[in-house]
């Protein structure tokens, strides 16, 4: 996997989650929620990828003209802990350099709704990131969507695979909207601009 500063290279935006209606509103699926909203904004529908176990949508982000960026939006259909294979296959197929990959995922160590954007780093026990890093190396962008820690003695695995609580759901649309804004800003204006605007 090569790293480039080629501005014309496409971006691959990966919403991490688990496929299937039973997982749709889980905390672990917030990456899918952001990907779905981004698809709405682009004005397209996901379709099955030819070369990978994923749903994809090709489009553009940013103002019309030379400022717009070519993007491939993806939701791996492999289950979270096997996300790396489909993402790596999509990078190869669309010729996306690693520094043009953005993973959108839930993050336990950040309070609910808080965003943090960064390039590279560890996986912090997140199985989707662990699989991606194993397949491609760590030097991709992350949009980390805070979900907070589990209450009491609840196991992490149980917590992330539960739906957002009713109190959280009141603000969920707003936070997903803001995370989607952050992804658009990262792709069209760069990491530093996106961090200063959205790292709350």
**Which residue numbers are catalytic?**
28
Angle at 102 between CA 180 and CA 62, to 5 degrees: 50
Distance (Å, whole) CA 131 – CA 118: 18
User: 20 CB contacts (<8 Å, ≥6 apart)?
Assistant: none
Count of positions (residues) in the chain: 200
Angle at 30 between CA 45 and CA 5, to 5 degrees: 70
Read off the tokens for 33.
């929620």
User: 25 CB contacts (<8 Å, ≥6 apart)?
Assistant: 163, 164
């Amino acid at each position: 996997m090569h790293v480039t500063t080629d501005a014309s290279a496409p971006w691959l935006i990966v919403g991490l989650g688990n496929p299937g209606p039973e997982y749709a509103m889980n905390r672990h699926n917030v990456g899918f929620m952001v990907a779905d909203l981004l698809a709405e904004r682009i004005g397209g529908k996901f379709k099955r990828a030819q070369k990978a176990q994923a749903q994809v949508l090709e489009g553009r982000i940013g103002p019309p003209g030379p400022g717009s960026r070519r993007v491939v939006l993806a939701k791996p259909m492999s289950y979270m802990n096997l996300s790396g294979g489909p993402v790596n296959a999509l990078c190869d197929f669309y010729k996306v350099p690693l520094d043009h990959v953005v993973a959108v995922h839930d993050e336990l160590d950040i309070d609910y709704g808080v965003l943090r954007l960064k390039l590279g780093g560890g996986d912090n026990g997140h199985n989707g990131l662990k699989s991606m890093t194993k397949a491609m190396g760590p030097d991709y962008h992350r949009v980390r969507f805070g979900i907070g820690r589990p209450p009491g003695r609840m196991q992490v695995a149980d917590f992330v695979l539960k739906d957002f609580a009713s109190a959280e759901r009141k603000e969920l649309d707003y936070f997903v909207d803001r995370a989607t804004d952050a992804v658009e800003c990262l792709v069209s204006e760069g990491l530093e601009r996106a961090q200063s605007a959205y790292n709350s």
